[in-house]
Amino acid sequence: MDIPKETTLTWTDTYTINGAKLRGFAYLENGAKVYAVQTFQSEHEKQNYEQISLSGHTFLVKGNLVPPTLPSHQFAFSMENYILSHAAQGIYEIEQSTYKEKKNSLSSLLAEQRFRVKKHIEATFPNSLIAEAQALIIGEQENVDQELNRAYQKLGITHLFAISGLHVALVSLLVFELLLRLHIRREHATIIIIIALPLYACIAGGAPSVWRSVTVVEMIMISKILSKKLSIDDALSLSFIALVLYQPSIIFQIGFQLSYLATVALVFSNVILQSTQSALFQSFYITSVCQLLVYPLLIYHFFELSLSSFIANIVFVPLFSLIILPVNLVLFVLTLLFKPGAQVLFLIYEPLRGFVAKVIMWCQSIPYQMWVTGRPSVLLCSLAFLGVLCAFVYIEKRKFKMALICILIPALVIHLAPRMHKDIRITFLSVGQGDSIVIELPYRKKVYVVDTGGLLRFEQEKWKQSKTEYEVGRRIVVPYLKGRGIKAVDTMIITHADADHAEGAEEVMEEIKVKEIHVSPNSWEKSVMEDIIAHIKKEKIPLKEKIADEKWRVGDAYFEYLSPTDTQYDGNNDSLVLLVSFGKHKILLTGDLEEDGEMQLVKNNEQKITHLSILKVGHHGSKTSSAEAFLKHTKPSLSIFSTGLNNRYKHPSKEVVERFQKLGLPTLNTAEVGSIELKMTKENCEITTTSQLVEMKKALSK
């Protein structure tokens, strides 16, 4: 479908305003759905947009359809997949926007009500309770604290902080019972619920789990009115078919997949669930049945599984369902009808909820809760699903040992699979304007991370600042490590104290166990290292200063530091320079080494660095690095620039690129091809880039 440069654009209710950006889904005049991005020109303009619900508002716009950026690596968030899963055509970057009109419709009316509820909660609830109330009442996750959200993930209770099928069922039951208490006939109460549920689904954000629950409940209630008995499994199947027919791309949404799979687990496990009358055991069985059937899907998408969720859900499901959710609903009603009563209840509830949050944070700090699996192959996921299904059959037959074997054997294979590679794997991660390199030795004997990326942060006006800072370590490096099934790093090497090499280290250490850290002498004294050093001291991680001539061997892989040669830290030319040798391959990792450092390297290591297999180009291809004499001496078979797309420094420098071309030295740039993975045997080297993987996936999908 052709996307015109000038057209009208009508916003849906799926959008966010964060910093100086407005992002969300919208429809163009020709009916095309796009992911629109607009940059505010002033704080006043931003405030105007924040004061209204944009759903249904139409603007005359001028802009361009732009391709989504490459994901950083195969385990990172893919903007292209996100857009496709919402049936959109692409990203439409708005250059100019002029308000035209508002198109009134049922969806825009409901979105307006949702917006009013959101603003009402912000105006009447204490700050500490706003995010929770918005999440539980209208499904708004925008203000949820990231640290607390991570705690929910570790405990496997994230679903409790979102509107789910259980949530819808509880709300329906509460409203139904209220209608009966108001002496409304049961038949009329049923009709009211049937009419109200789809409206509530829209106001609640319309997540797949909400629509799944609403459509199933609707079908069963309608069948009762019509005296036609419809079983829960038939209703679930019809609901699935209806949603997929309405929006085929929804099948690619993770929430949709997990919601239906978990419900299937419950529907077809009646024999197991009814095998005990104990409420405690029933709660454990419900949690276990759901978790077991969805775990292959969870580890495929998220590369890890919360082992504590089997216990945590027994405690927190009743707490959220019977106390926290009803209390939030009561508080919301009171803020509408009787604010003094709400204030009294806030005085009681807020400290109690704060105590619960502290308990959750303490629980998540218990070690060894997360099973980091990496992303299993489709074959291994299928094996895991088959094992769980067989286990359910054996549990029904009371053969628990066989059930345990069916679960554990596929899990053991999944756990060991990431270690079963004979080659050495070196990945140059695409972390924007920065460096991060992951080295995995054969059979995962050792894992090294050289630099962790990071951002050079500049002062911005407050209204332009994002609600949460973008963290390279947490967003890019950690997902790659977990996607590869790496739960511990043997050595983290921080080449020098620059933010774009070191800032992500603390974020990585918070998620992945790091056994020791190597730094350039005295670089740890720099201000950029303060938070990292504080975390190192807290976790008691050994910190070792390294200089030239320190070397070690693991199997057939040899490692040697070639620089610095002294203990005085003066910046880029005191970067830790690492030479990796494996078979006939030599890989030189130079940090931000500049011309003086390069020539010193040649002088001190003349024979060691000739005819390199791989050169990580110093200082991102800055014109102060990659001296011609250095390149002529090292003659790398492949040189890798680690840069950010359209970076402000214009790295790699044009003259440096031309120098490589003149010398006939092949190069790759992470800004252009994404992460670059090398699989090396002693003789051969296989190179794979993110762009190649994306193209391969597209070809297979056709």
User: 558-616, pLDDT tens digit by residue?
Assistant: 999 999 999 899 889 999 999 999 999 999 999 999 999 999 999 999 899 999 999 99
Residue 555 has what pLDDT?
93
Strands 33-39 and 304-306: unpaired
Q: Specify the 3-state DSSP secondary structure of 237.
A: helix
435 — phi, psi (to 5°)? Answer: -125, 140
680 is a domain residue: yes
69 with 166, same domain: the answer is no
123 is a domain residue: yes
273 with 371, same domain: the answer is yes
Residue 548 has what pLDDT?
94
Residue 182 has what pLDDT?
84
228 with 272, same domain: the answer is yes
Residue 331 has what pLDDT?
94
93 with 176, same domain: the answer is no
Domain that holds residue 397: 380-419
Residue 510 has what pLDDT?
93
Q: What is the DSSP letter of 636?
A: -
Query: Of 103, 129, 164, which residue constitutes the final position of a domain?
Result: 103
Residue 185 has what pLDDT?
86
Strand partners of residue 133: none
Q: Give residue-wise pLDDT tens across range 408-441.
A: 999 999 999 999 999 999 999 999 999 999 999 9
Residue 177 has what pLDDT?
82
**Domain count along the chain:** 4
Helices 339-364 and 146-155 cross at an angle (nearest 10°) of 60
d(C-alpha 28, C-alpha 365), whole Å:
47
146 with 54, same domain: the answer is no
108 is a domain residue: no
Q: Give residue-wise pLDDT tens across range 126-162.
A: 999 999 999 888 888 888 888 888 888 898 888 777 7
1 is a domain residue: no
Query: Of 356, 375, 394, which residue constitutes the final position of a domain?
Result: 375
84 is a domain residue: yes
CATH number for the domain that contains residue 536: 3.60.15.10
Q: Percent of the chain scored above 70 by pLDDT?
A: 98
Residue 702 has what pLDDT?
58
- C-beta separation of 430 from 72 below 8 A: yes
Q: pTM for the complete prediction?
A: 0.92
462 is a domain residue: no
22 — phi, psi (to 5°)? Answer: -115, 125
Q: Is the pLDDT of residue 520 over 70?
A: yes
CA dihedral 470, 473, 476, 482 (to 10 degrees): -140
433 with 404, same domain: the answer is no
Q: Give residue-wise pLDDT tens across range 305-346.
A: 999 988 888 888 888 888 898 899 899 989 999 999 999 999
512 with 595, same domain: the answer is yes
Q: Give residue-wise pLDDT tens across range 82-119.
A: 999 998 989 999 999 999 999 888 888 989 999 999 99
Query: What does the radius of gyration of the chain's CA atoms come to, in whole angstroms?
Result: 28
Residue 417 has what pLDDT?
94
Residue 284 has what pLDDT?
79
d(C-alpha 266, C-alpha 287), whole Å:
9
Tell me which of 182-196, 358-372, 552-566 is least confident: 182-196
Q: Give residue-wise pLDDT tens across range 171-180.
A: 777 788 888 8
Average pLDDT taken over every residue of the chain = 90
233 with 129, same domain: the answer is yes
CATH number for the domain that contains residue 16: 2.40.50.960
501 with 577, same domain: the answer is yes
- C-beta separation of 33 from 89 below 8 A: yes
Q: Percent of the chain scored above 90 by pLDDT?
A: 64
Q: Give residue-wise pLDDT tens across range 194-203.
A: 888 888 888 8
Cα–Cα distances in Å, from 482 out to 59, 74, 249, 476? 43, 12, 27, 10
**Cis peptide preceding 652, ω within 30 of 0:** yes
251 with 275, same domain: the answer is yes
**Helix (H) and strand (E) counts in the chain:** 27, 24
Query: In which residue are the tokens 């190649």 written?
Result: 692
237 is a domain residue: yes
Strands across the sheet with 667-669, in order? 551-554, 557-563, 577-582, 585-589, 614-616, 638-641, 667-669
Q: What is the 3-state secondary structure (H, E, C) of 558-605?
A: EEEEEECCCCCCCCHHHCCEEEEEECCEEEEECCCCCHHHHHHHHHHC
Q: Give residue-wise pLDDT tens across range 243-278.
A: 999 889 899 989 889 888 988 888 888 777 777 777
Q: Is the pLDDT of residue 701 over 70?
A: no
387 with 404, same domain: the answer is yes
Mean pLDDT of 686-695: 92
Tell me the residue type at 115: F
82 is a domain residue: yes
Query: Of 68, 103, 138, which residue constitutes the final position of a domain?
Result: 103
Q: What is the DSSP letter of 11?
A: E
503 with 651, same domain: the answer is yes
| Cβ contacts of 25 within 8 Å, gap of 6 or more | 11, 12, 14, 15, 33, 34, 35, 36, 86, 88
- C-beta separation of 346 from 150 below 8 A: no
Residue 310 has what pLDDT?
85
Q: In this structure, how many other beta carbons lie within 10 angstroms of the beta carbon of residue 186?
A: 10
Q: Is the pLDDT of residue 493 over 90?
A: yes
Q: Is the pLDDT of residue 2 over 80?
A: no
